[in-house]
């Protein structure tokens, strides 16, 4: 019984999350020969302030990127 946990920062639409679940399920069926009814996919959305990237919290990193883009 495959269990897949996908962690993303907040912001994906319901449609995007549904596509992730479908694509991951289809991949496990195709590659491993698993039955779709045995596959569990969990999507956890993490607040930007609780996710670190490139040595910064993601909310701070996004602020820096926004400032860089606005100064170009």
DSSP letters, the chain, are --EEEEEEES---HHHHHHHHHHHHHHHHHHH---GGG-EEEEEEE-GGG-EETTEEHHHHHHHHHHHHHT-
Query: Is residue 2 flagged as an active site residue?
Result: yes
Which one from 1, 2, 60, 64 is the annotated catalytic residue? 2
Q: Catalytic residue numbers?
A: 2
């Amino acid at each position: 019984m495959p269990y897949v946990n996908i962690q993303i920062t907040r912001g994906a639409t319901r449609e995007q999350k549904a596509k992730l679940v479908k694509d991951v399920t289809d991949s496990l069926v195709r590659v491993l020969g698993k039955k779709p009814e045995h596959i569990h996919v969990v999507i956890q959305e993490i607040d930007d302030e609780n996710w670190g990237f490139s040595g910064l919290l993601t909310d701070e990193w996004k602020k820096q990127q926004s400032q860089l883009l606005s100064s170009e």
